[in-house]
Amino acid sequence: MSQAQVQDKPRRAVESGVPDNQPFLHPVLKKNYGNWKYHDRPRPGVLHHVAHSGDEIWSVRAGTQRQMDVHTIRTLCDIADQYADGYVRFTIRANIEFMLAKQERVAPLIETLEKAGFPVGGTGNSVSMIAHTQGWLHCDIPGTDASGVVKALMDELYDEFKREEMPSRVHLSTSCCEINCGGQADIAIIIQHTKPPKINHDLVANVCERPAVVARCPVAAIRPALVNGKPSLEVDEKKCICCGACYPPCPPMQINDPVHSKFAVWVGGKNSNARAKPTFMKMVASGLPNNPPRWPEVSEIVKKILYTYKEDARSWERLSDWVERIGWPRFFEKTGLPFTKYLIDDWRGARASLNASTHIRF
């Protein structure tokens, strides 16, 4: 193939794997890749890296609303062109980082970002941006909005994003269904269905692959059934744990409900291996109303937990370390949250009812 033919070939999308990051790196990062001497944080929201070669680079981190319109992206790109030679990257928590090779540009960049409404922070012992699920914008199964909850909560925690005053790093996450995106976090806010799905028997045969739906259920509560002469499904409601896993492969098994889909708050999850091993979170509040647009009941509980932790934890204790030290009874005493039989240890009981084997039982 000649050079001209190669150039004429339309560019094909690469649909698997992570793209090579090298073409997108700031020249200072590229030059010193893997050769860093140390880094520090001159102020909240700013990381300063020094290479063995003597080169220095400053990363300025700002919060964004994650789901952005084109005008916001243009604003951010214009700011990047003006101060950061056009180099930015997004963190996994939807913060944007501008990379600067000149220290004198850091302060004017921060001023410009703050003026444009993007708070600078999210580093060190701050409350970083909430890990944000897709919600109604992209996903077909949410029981609530995702960006709304994130916005409402981060409005309340704005100052904690900008300051580094927590005992340790605090990660928050949300999940707008019970089974998918919400990851382990220090505090997680997760939809909680409280009633089994309602089945539209007229649609099941046309829309759902029944064996796939039956196999989805973690407690084997779904059975094939014939309803009004049509092939459909039935749910053994005594077994159903209202997880909602049957709803994505079979939308006629509607589980979202404006009243019965509630919120639960979980605490103590951690993915990292730093200082202590990773931990699973546990449920500490349940049955909170799904109350848009500000979700005040959820905010109140999250703030109660967060500020009790801030008061009581020792330096560098993650939320899970703090609870481990004081014990769960003291956690409930100190936060003032009511302890009920539905919390924390429900998974011990679940051993008897959950389908824990890889076999499908009908």
Q: Where do contacts with ligand SF4 occur on this chain (CB under 6 A)?
A: 133-135, 139, 141-142, 146, 175-177, 180-182, 196-197, 216-217, 219, 221-222, 235, 240-246, 255
Nearer to ligand SF4, 45 or 269 (CB): 269
| Beta strands at 172-175 and 88-90: parallel, antiparallel or unpaired | unpaired
Give yes or no for a contact between 187 and 267, defined as CB atoms under 8 angstroms apart.
yes
Please report how close the Cβ of residue 218 comes to ligand SF4 at its closest, in angstroms: 6
Identity of the residue, 231 or 248, whose beta carbon is nearer to ligand SF4 in the bound complex: 248
Closest contact distance (angstroms) between CB of 184 and ligand SF4 is: 14
Q: Nearer to ligand SF4 by C-beta: 22 or 358?
A: 358
* Shortest spacing between CB 169 and ligand SF4, in angstroms: 23
Q: Which of residues 72 and 134 has its CB atom nearest to ligand SF4 in the complex?
A: 134
Q: Which is nearer to ligand SF4, 124 or 183 (CB)?
A: 183
What are the CA-CA distances from residue 359 to residues 94, 217, 349 (Å)?
A: 39, 12, 21
Report the nearest approach of ligand SF4 to the CB of residue 30 (Å). 35
**What's the closest the beta carbon of residue 143 comes to ligand SF4, in angstroms?**
7
Residues 6 or more apart whose CB falls under 8 angstroms from that of 311 comprise none
Nearer to ligand SF4, 180 or 291 (CB): 180
Report the residue number, 222 or 337, with the smaller CB distance to ligand SF4.
222
Residue 129 CB, nearest approach to ligand SF4 (Å): 16
Task: Return the number of the residue (47 or 242) whose C-beta is nearest ligand SF4.
Answer: 242
Q: How far is the CB of 220 from ligand SF4 (least distance, A)?
A: 8
Task: Quote the least distance from Cβ 287 to ligand SF4, whole Å.
Answer: 17
